[in-house]
Amino acid sequence: MILLSAKGLKLAFGGVKAADGIDLDVRNGEFLAIIGPNGAGKTTFINMVTGYLTPQAGEIHYDGQPLVGLAPRRLVRLGIARSFQLPQLFLEHTVAENVALAIAAREGLWSPIRPLMRSAWRAEADDILAQFDLSDIAERRADTLNEGARKLTDIAMAVALKPRLILMDEPTSGVAASEKISIVETLVRVLRTAGVTAVFVEHDMDVVSRFADRVAVWSQGKIAALGPPGAVLTDPNVLRDVIGIETEAGHAAA
């Protein structure tokens, strides 16, 4: 079943074509990695799906429903959440409060007197943080965290919204190499358990080959290749254009 379907998306900033006819179907339950050089339009795609940018042409359907023109706030209600390349945390709040605020956003925000950290929400926030192995830092203020913890908290907030589809912009960028795999392992375990479909932008090919069901290769606002990591990541053109490795086959093809 197709959960998200993009057809003919186009968006240009001045002369730069950030999206130049993007067609992509995201299957329910899959982990789809987006790779490609900087400036290829990967984040633009996420921004269009989450309502931050409006495509100049093309359509996006989610669960059969057209999305273009809806505000980010509406899209969250439909079950689309996102995390950010630069984690967007509420810096004056603790980690638990950040997650609890996401729960509040989902469950009912408009209470001026009942506490945010009421027992049910507190318990749910603790549960989510435990899944992400963040229990130890639940009471730390968000502005005191290291990059890895900030990334995971950012994603935990998106997961707390109980989305069906999550779009993650470079979940491992800025994270120490030694932490990367363990962070993604945690992430994948949580998302698989919750049955969330994930689209994520990633530069680390090791992460992509280990965790993605399919890979979409972005190049100059277009999808240059799409398929399982085993096939795409061995494609000589992809190796040359995206990863920057010249292979003999690729050399011959060029």
Partner 1 sequence: MSRYADLVLTLLAAAFVLALSWAVPWLRFVMTIAIAKGLAVLGILLLLRAGQVSFGHALYLSLAAYVVAFMAARIPEVLLLLPLAAVVAASIGLLVGLFVSRYRAIFFGMLNLALSMVFYSMLDKFYEVTRGGDGIRVPVTSFAGVVLSPDQQSWALLILALVLAVGFGAFVRLYLLSPMGSALSALKTREARLEFMGIPARRILLSAYVLSAFMAGCGGALIALSTRHVTPALAYWTASGELVFIAILGGAGSVFGPFLGALAYELTRTYAAALVADAWQMILGTVLLVVILFAPGGLWGIGRALVVRGRQA
For binding to partner 1 (CB under 8 A), which residues are involved?
Answer: 50, 52, 71-73, 76-77, 81-82, 84, 88-93, 97, 100-102, 104-106, 108-117, 157, 161
Minimum gap (Å) between residue 114 Cβ and partner 1 = 6
What ranges make up the beta strands (E) of the chain? 2-13, 16-27, 31-35, 57-62, 65-66, 80-83, 165-169, 197-201, 214-219, 222-227
Nearer to partner 1, 169 or 235 (CB): 169
* Nearest-approach distance from CB 144 to partner 1, in angstroms: 13
3-state secondary structure of 223: strand
Distance CA 10, CA 19 (A): 5
Nearer to partner 1, 77 or 251 (CB): 77
Please state the φ and ψ torsions of residue 2, each to the nearest 5 degrees.
Answer: -90, 125
> Which lies closer to partner 1 via its Cβ, residue 25 or residue 52?
52
Nearest in space to 151 (alpha carbons), one of 81, 72, 89, 79? 89
Between 35 and 100, name the residue whose CB sits nearer to partner 1. 100
Tally the residues of the chain.
254
